[in-house]
Amino acid sequence: MRQSSGQRAKFILELIKPSHYDDDGYVIQWWRGWIPSNSLSVLHGLAREAQSRQVLGEETDIEIDAFDETISVVPLKRIIRRFRRNRMRGLVCLVGVQTNQFPRAVDIARRLRVAIGGFHVSGCVSMLPETPPEMREALGLGITLFAGEAEGRLDGLLRDADRGELKPFYNFIADLPHLEGQPLPYPDRSHLHHILGRVSSFDAGRGCPFSCSFCTIINVQGRKSRYRDADDIERLVRVNQAQGSSSYFITDDDFARNKNWEAILDRLIELREREGIEIRLTIQVDVLCHKIPRFVEKAARAGCKRVFIGLESINPDNLKAASKRQNRVAEYRAMLQAWRRVGVITYAGYILGFPDDTPEKIRHDIRVIQRELPIDILEFFVLTPLPGSRDHQEMHLRGVRLDPDMNRYDVEHVTTDHPRMTAAEWQSIYDEAWRLYYSPGHIETLLKRAIVSGVKPARVATMIFSFYAGHKYEGVHPLQVGLIRRKRRRDRRPGMQRENPLVFYPRRLGAMFTTYVSGLLFFWRLTRLRRRLQRDPAIRDYSDIAIAPADAEADQRLELLGGGELETWARPAV
């Protein structure tokens, strides 16, 4: 297969982060996206480094392309033509494939020499006693599966592909690599143009010490903290700065438990305060992070503007059932107020469908949160037994009903049975929860709290729009949403009939008109409300229970309310 010695040979490497299908079978894609794929950046960085070392020999060039299907159309026909012209010398790597993306990944892989890696493959290998049906199907199609992390392993995969000796399965799940000095995530410049705000992403570390039963990360990336050093992070910032990016999403599941957090934040503070480099961070933390000395203050100085907190529930029984013992409801208010004091916007995840949940209990808990906790943005998830989690492992071993369609495991759809709710009731309360939390009255409260707390209300309003509008108008979770949906008639899930153009295009135009007119009207009303509140001279005197100084009595009341032990409010609003 090699070309003559007088001509440089070529090995084609295509890196693709697949999307997944919506309920109508169309690939979810956007003109612009909100969240970049760190997995794609990691593999891109590793591939570039392998390319620079000429791992396939001095006479072979590695040509690398990278595609994030959520923000770009993957040119499959062009890729196939390139492979044929190159006598099939190359490899397509489908990277970072989550469970809901696995069906789409397999559909992409049917016509190419492909390796699939990511959380679904790794999670199943780490937790299940046998290979599940969807992975057996992929192996039967000649697809290579890769479990574990690619640092230190990509060279071998590329060499095997170049020799035509790819193995069916590569399993490195039990051998987690260190991260210090490893090749750094490298975002493709064209991808940054398709991400709103040119946000980049990187993992400062991997692993989480906690043991939440619904979590896949601890079983794929381990519970031991592995981290990059401060020099690595500085290089990342400088590389991204050269590409015009100054906003970063640090993808560590819990940055507060990265053992090198302080050295990393100190270096970012130095870059900001001594060199004037613009840095804006979004990080993920646990609810006890405010108890780590200096953590909140240094995160803010390092440029943290938004923090995601795994709140999950205010019901202590639910937290106990999920093995989330680190979450102490009585600490929630103090933690949220600590971030508010340094001007950082908080957004939290809230899971619906724990065994003790009912529609009425969920409605009650949302009312408690609105009144008692100074959270800016709340996003809801359906409790989903994701392959790789202990929940999924236990259900699988007990023979509990699990939806066989992996495309539905997107934390928006009900995929198993609940002891106290029907599937319809569970799905309905998930949709209702968004409307309850983002009611007109509570949106006004969120903006008032932002104004009096010194948090920029325009930023809060923008986040309210992006999170709530994604669910309300586009019908997808905010983590999957972007700006202006692409829906291509030919990109429909196999087995679903391709629609007639005379039917598809008029309906699509009508749906776009309805969606974007309604969305723009909501944004206009939101902006008008924000401006009216900012002009109101009385707004500076606003206060309520959530932003009032925390005390032991208030914390005890919150714990009782979370447990459903009080039916009436014990204290009036301030």
Q: How many CB atoms are closer than 10 A to CB 124?
A: 26
**What pLDDT does residue 559 have?**
63
The segment with the largest mean pLDDT, out of 34-38, 137-141, 546-550, is: 137-141
pLDDT surpassing 60 at residue 213: yes
Torsion angles phi and psi, residue 68, rounded to 5: -105, 110
Q: What is the pLDDT of residues 39-50, one digit of tens each?
A: 999 999 999 999
The Cα diameter of the chain in Å comes to 84
Q: What is the pLDDT of residues 334-368, one digit of tens each?
A: 999 999 999 999 999 999 999 999 999 999 999 99
Q: What is the mean pLDDT of residues 127-134?
A: 96
pLDDT surpassing 80 at residue 115: yes
**What pLDDT does residue 4 have?**
34
Mean pLDDT check: name the lowest of 289-293, 392-396, 562-566. 562-566
Share of residues in the chain with pLDDT > 70 (%): 94
Please give the Cα distance from 80 to 385 (Å, whole number): 36
Mean pLDDT, all residues of the chain: 92
Q: What is the mean pLDDT of residues 393-398?
A: 96
Going by CATH, does the domain composed of 203-437 fall within 3.20.20.70?
yes
Structure tokens of 352?
């619906």
**What pLDDT does residue 3 have?**
36
Report residue 191's pLDDT band, with 50, 70 and 90 as the boundaries: confident
Between helix 119-127 and helix 390-398 the angle, nearest 10°, is 60
**What pLDDT does residue 563 have?**
60
Q: Is the pTM of this model over 0.75?
A: yes
Report residue 17's pLDDT band, with 50, 70 and 90 as the boundaries: very high
Q: How far is CA 58 from CA 8, 291, 304, 387, in A?
A: 9, 53, 44, 42
Please give the Cα distance from 455 to 300 (Å, whole number): 12
Going by CATH, does the domain composed of 10-171 fall within 3.30.420.130?
no
Q: Per DSSP, which regions of 291-436 are E strands?
A: 304-312, 345-352, 377-382
Share of residues in the chain with pLDDT > 90 (%): 84
pLDDT surpassing 80 at residue 113: no
Report residue 205's pLDDT band, with 50, 70 and 90 as the boundaries: very high
| Residue whose C-alpha is closest to residue 480's, from 199, 140, 101, 206 | 101
pLDDT surpassing 90 at residue 257: yes
Please give the Cα distance from 8 to 57 (Å, whole number): 10
Q: What is the mean pLDDT of residues 476-489?
A: 92
pLDDT surpassing 60 at residue 269: yes
Q: What is the pLDDT of residues 405-457, one digit of tens each?
A: 999 999 999 999 999 999 999 999 999 999 999 999 999 999 999 999 988 99
Q: What is the mean pLDDT of residues 382-392?
A: 97
Mean pLDDT check: name the lowest of 302-316, 393-407, 551-565. 551-565
Report residue 321's pLDDT band, with 50, 70 and 90 as the boundaries: confident
pLDDT surpassing 90 at residue 30: yes
**What pLDDT does residue 565 have?**
52
pLDDT surpassing 90 at residue 140: yes
pLDDT surpassing 60 at residue 331: yes
Q: What is the mean pLDDT of residues 313-322?
A: 84
Q: What is the 3-state secondary structure (H, E, C) of 69-106?
A: CCCCCCCHHHHHHHHHHCCCCEEEEECCCCHHHHHHHH
Structure tokens of 71?
């923000």
Please give the Cα distance from 205 to 254 (Å, whole number): 9
Please give the Cα distance from 332 to 310 (Å, whole number): 11
DSSP 151: T
For the chain, the domains span 10-171, 203-437
Q: What is the mean pLDDT of residues 263-274?
A: 98
Enumerate residues 6+ apart whose C-beta is below 8 A from 86: 10, 12
Strand partners for 377: 347
Please give the Cα distance from 463 to 564 (Å, whole number): 30
pLDDT surpassing 80 at residue 189: no
Higher pLDDT, 197 or 11: 11
Question: Is 560 strand, coil or helix?
Answer: helix
**What pLDDT does residue 193 have?**
83
**What pLDDT does residue 573 have?**
34
| Residue whose C-alpha is closest to residue 83's, from 162, 12, 10, 2 | 12
Mean pLDDT check: name the lowest of 37-51, 174-188, 227-241, 316-330. 316-330
Q: What is the pLDDT of residues 512-570, one digit of tens each?
A: 999 999 999 999 999 999 999 999 999 999 999 999 887 666 666 666 666 665 444 33
Q: Which residue has the tokens 């900001």?
A: 272
Task: Calculate the CA dihedral of residues 389, 391, 396, 398 and round it to 10 degrees.
Answer: 150
**What pLDDT does residue 2 have?**
35
Please give the Cα distance from 247 to 303 (Å, whole number): 9
Give the DSSP H/E element, type plus range, for residue 171.
Answer: strand 169-171
pLDDT surpassing 50 at residue 237: yes
Higher pLDDT, 323 or 132: 132
